[in-house]
Structure 1
Amino acid sequence: MSTTTQNQPAAKMSIATIAIMNITAVVSLRFLPSEAEYGLGSIFFFAFAALVFLIPMALVAAELATTYPEKGGVFRWVSEAFGPRLGFLAMAMVWIEVIPYFPTVLTFGAVSIAFIDPTVSMAESISANKWYITSFVLIVYWISVAIALRGVGIFASVSKWCGIVGTIIPAGIVTLLGFAYLLFSGNKPLVELSWGALMPDFSNFSTVVLAASIFLAYAGMEMNAVHVKDMDNPTKKYPIAITIASLGTVAIFLLSTLGIAFIVPAQDINLTQSLLLAYDLLFKWLGVPWLGSIVAVMLAFGVLGGVVTWIAGPNTGVLAVAKAGYLPRWFQKTNKHGMGVNLMLVQAVIVSILSITFVVMPSVQAAFQILSQLTVILYLVMYLLMFAAGIRLRRTQPDRPRPYRAPAMYLWASLGFLGSLIAFALSFVPPSQIAVGSPTSYFLYLVVLVAIFVAIPLIIYAQRKPSWRDPNSDFEPFTWEANATTAPNGTPTASNAHTGAGTC
């Protein structure tokens, strides 16, 4: 949905801006170490996840965003297909899943800052300190909230330039230098370079669990569909931006992962430190070790841009849905920039509480892993609904004008649904590479948290009241409301055709 406010004119975004915002939102270099452990086998995982998740997600999101350009984003798409109850659940999952995401991505930023210190052993010690990590997460997160509250113009600029400086350029550096090291250093590569090495070892099931994190690494391409109406000629330009972002995302992840795998031994790979150690090794090889501190700062800027994007995007979407009558009026309060103040503050408080996980978990790595998996699971709930909506809407609304029609929609959406389901199941299995404490406790911890986070939006939806709707809301009726027909679940909605909050 558009982030244009009632107080500001539309801020039109270019193809390049949307593409870079998508890359910034999707690409986090923190995922590279977990996949570098697989060496050349990471190519298989990246290609598989792109085939059954990234490509389907980009195609389905592009069609849905241009077919339903009205406000609502994923809430509108799923509601058109299955009714507002599941639509509200899908939107809530996007808002909730970023809560465990923020501590994990900010942990990577904390580690980056620690590696400004040229003494690597001291940097490693600092970056493993749970109190340092927790303090950094809280401070930088609240700074990001303050930036996001300044409105679309500020957060779009921060996202774009932090993405270039802190993600795209560092990824290019580790890729170019990693391959140069392989070719010109004279040292033996640390990964097996053979055709057989392209196929991972599936004999130990638990060792491939970390590969499921690639689905989270690719997630988020649909998030900036909320800005489709902030573009000139979005039906033409948005699919182009998505294509550029998708290709760039795969290239950055794959090449950067191999750059790390070439120089860091698999047994020494650490989920939070290995990327920084790779830069340290490469710059020492070139004789310019001081550059490691500069890149560490750049990576921290990349984290800041990603966090600001993920605060602003989902909160903008939930705010429009809230004003349509799906959340109490207290959550609809906005500042002079049109940003949802109370929504962001509630989210920030929950993030702050969850960040204490770093203090109570066995290690920073363990907390990092369990929060990452929780993010994957919650996000995949939304994706399962989105892919199912893409299939259903092709069948139930065949005459709806589709400026962009995804080729072979049924095939790609089915692949996306199946891939998401596989990753969803794998995410409950504790990885053998990381000490996360008791496997049973790990599983139960995830199950309980997922159950709580899924139940909350369903309970809120069941308690909604007509008084929640903002009389100034410009949320357009759903197709079945405008036609005074029935909701997808069969509930009559003619009497609610203009409420913006049809029954379900």
Structure 2
Amino acid sequence: MGRKKKFRLFSAVLSVICVVFVAEAAAPVAAIGNSQFFWWTFLLLAFLLPYGLIAAELGTSYIGEGGIYDWVRKAFGHKWGARVSWYYWINYPLWLASLAVMTPGLLTTITGFQFTALSALVLELLFIWLIVWISFYPVSDSIWILNGAALIKMILALLVGGLGLYVAFTKGMANEMTLASLMPSFNLNSLSYISVIIFNLLGFEVICTFADDMENPQKQIPQSIIVAGLVIAAIYIFSAFGIGVAIPVEEISTSSGMMDSFQLLTGSSTGWFIILMAFLFLLTLFGNMISWSLGVNNTASYAAQNGDMPAFFAKRSTKNNMPVGAAIANGLVASLVVAVAPLLPDQDLFWSFFSLNLVMFLLSYVPVFPAFYKLRRIDPDHPRPFKVSGSQLLLKFLVVVPMLLIIISLIFTALPLSFDSSTLASQLPITIGSIIFILAGEAMILIKKIKK
């Protein structure tokens, strides 16, 4: 008998938590105010539930490294598969860059040392290339990192929620809780952050790309999605409630929300507790990037092998067959982004890079939902170990509602819906960057077509 693989159900559940639960995205959501609780509840039901069911069916029916690229390609052909693989991949180095620019500030909190612009850039590059180096190795070799990061994320979320409740009970509520304040406000400020909640709920399909490292993927994939989904929903609501009742909305920052929350809740920016929280938060950033790199790199490499991404992405290690081409491309793009960051107008770099990553990431998911429905029609006899049950009307509902929510959130994230100077200054780089990356993807498809 062969050696049992290390990736068991417990590790699968923690890996889903590590991938899906995004601690650094908590602040923009909390900045919505009390209506965040409505949006969390609504999107957990209207988005997370159908998305989790669809990901579980597709992930167990079409097991392999292609992930969402494979599902869309099978349903709509290579051109749409190429678009999805491009959007899905390019979001990752942008996200990597957005987290890299946070590391100097976190290390300043930990050590007290103030970094110059040059030393901060060196630190950011070290963060990027350490992630790239770790992603050269199989997921089963990184299990302890994924499990550890998931546990730390849960501890941080529970601590910030618990501290928030303690402060609210001992010092009073920071934001007045009324029925009116809990209702959704449809202003531009609130709606522009809805995409962050959806982003916080995406990533279940990454676990499907780990199938080759699992003992029984047909059972472990749906089990891990269901269990982790319930845990993630509970943690998000608890931590959001803690922040919402204890910290005035106007004091919440979009650039370093989790650490700002701890500092505001404790009334201190120094001390052993803040240093420990900053260190743990830094570790979760590594866990996020490592867990996502394993899924994104496999998807990009698989797409390249099918002729839908540049050939360099298909390059794999001769030692362990890991997708080193995609990993190196991640490092090069993220390094370029942080290198040009000092030349950009003075603004919140984390939020700018994060928003751009958000747009590309959400774009990659738009075709996934109709792909699920089409595969049911064109490939009805394919074995489906986990199958979403229900009438055709219910299946259409599960497809249309989350897809529309993504499209709406894309509009509010990518387009400047207000034309005052401050909005344009912060929004136009995101709009222009999104257009550039979309056109780059179309150019890639056109070049591939000409070569064929």
The alignment's TM-score, normalised by the length of structure 1, stands at 0.80
- Residue aligning to 2:162: 176
- Residue aligning to 2:130: 143
- Residue aligning to 1:455: 442
Shift of 1:272: 2.0
8 Å contact kept, 1:384–1:420:
yes
Work out which of the residue numbers 361, 372, 375 in structure 2 matches 1:390.
Answer: 372
Work out which of the residue numbers 269, 286, 297 in structure 1 matches 2:279.
Answer: 297
Question: 1:274–1:439: structure 2 CA closer, same or farther, 3 Å change rule?
Answer: closer
8 Å contact kept, 1:39–1:192:
no
**Residue by residue, what CA displacement relative to the aligned partner does 1:388-436 show, whole Å, maximum 9, x if unpaired?**
1011111222222211112443221211111111111111235889956
- Residue aligning to 2:396: 410
Any residues of structure 2 matched to 1:398-477 within 5 Å, and which? 398-407=380-389, 408-430=394-416, 438=425, 441-442=428-429, 444-463=431-450
Shift of 1:373: 2.0
Larger mean CA deviation between 302-311 and 320-329 belongs to 320-329
Shift of 1:236: 2.2
Work out which of the residue numbers 18, 22, 33 in structure 2 matches 1:28.
Answer: 22
- Residue aligning to 2:259: 276
SS, match of residue 246 in structure 2: coil
Is 1:89 aligned to 2:83, yes or no? Answer: yes
- Residue aligning to 2:182: 198
Larger mean CA deviation between 87-96 and 59-68 belongs to 87-96
- Residue aligning to 2:146: 159
Shift of 1:290: 1.8
Work out which of the residue numbers 4, 12, 37 in structure 2 matches 1:18.
Answer: 12
Counterpart AA for 1:322: A
**Residue by residue, what CA displacement relative to the aligned partner does 1:328-379 show, whole Å, maximum 9, x if unpaired?**
65443322122222321122111111123531333351x2222222222212
Is 1:344 aligned to 2:340, yes or no? Answer: no
- Please give the alpha-carbon distance, in whole angstroms, between the structure 2 residues aligned to 1:101 and 1:226: 20
Question: 1:339–1:111: structure 2 CA closer, same or farther, 3 Å change rule?
Answer: same
Shift of 1:142: 0.5
SS, match of residue 345 in structure 2: coil
RMSD: 2.9
8 Å contact kept, 2:35–2:183:
yes
Larger mean CA deviation between 174-183 and 422-431 belongs to 422-431
Any residues of structure 2 matched to 1:12-411 within 5 Å, and which? 12-116=6-110, 134-165=121-152, 167-183=153-169, 185=170, 187-202=171-186, 204-283=187-266, 289-327=271-309, 330-335=312-317, 336-365=319-348, 367-407=349-389, 408-411=394-397
SS, match of residue 192 in structure 2: helix
- Please give the alpha-carbon distance, in whole angstroms, between the structure 1 residues aligned to 2:427 and 2:275: 40
8 Å contact kept, 1:430–1:439:
no
- Relative to its length, the structure with more helix (as a share) is 2
Larger mean CA deviation between 71-80 and 304-313 belongs to 71-80
**Residue by residue, what CA displacement relative to the aligned partner does 1:248-272 show, whole Å, maximum 9, x if unpaired?**
2222222212222333322222112
**Residue by residue, what CA displacement relative to the aligned partner does 1:299-333 show, whole Å, maximum 9, x if unpaired?**
10010111111222211222233334445654433
**Residue by residue, what CA displacement relative to the aligned partner does 1:123-181 show, whole Å, maximum 9, x if unpaired?**
9xx59x8666544322111111111112223333312212222x111111111121122
The alignment's TM-score, normalised by the length of structure 2, stands at 0.89
- Please give the alpha-carbon distance, in whole angstroms, between the structure 1 residues aligned to 2:68 and 2:288: 20
- Please give the alpha-carbon distance, in whole angstroms, between the structure 1 residues aligned to 2:395 and 2:309: 33
Q: Which runs of 5+ in 2 are unaligned?
A: none
- Please give the alpha-carbon distance, in whole angstroms, between the structure 2 residues aligned to 1:174 and 1:434: 35
8 Å contact kept, 1:79–1:86:
yes
Identity over aligned pairs, percent: 23
Question: 1:13–1:296: structure 2 CA closer, same or farther, 3 Å change rule?
Answer: same
- Please give the alpha-carbon distance, in whole angstroms, between the structure 2 residues aligned to 1:444 and 1:298: 33
Question: 1:207–1:320: structure 2 CA closer, same or farther, 3 Å change rule?
Answer: closer
Counterpart AA for 1:141: I
8 Å contact kept, 2:174–2:248:
yes
Shift of 1:191: 1.0
Question: 1:358–1:371: structure 2 CA closer, same or farther, 3 Å change rule?
Answer: same
Counterpart AA for 2:68: V
Counterpart AA for 2:124: V
Structure ID, larger Rg: 1
Shift of 1:195: 2.1
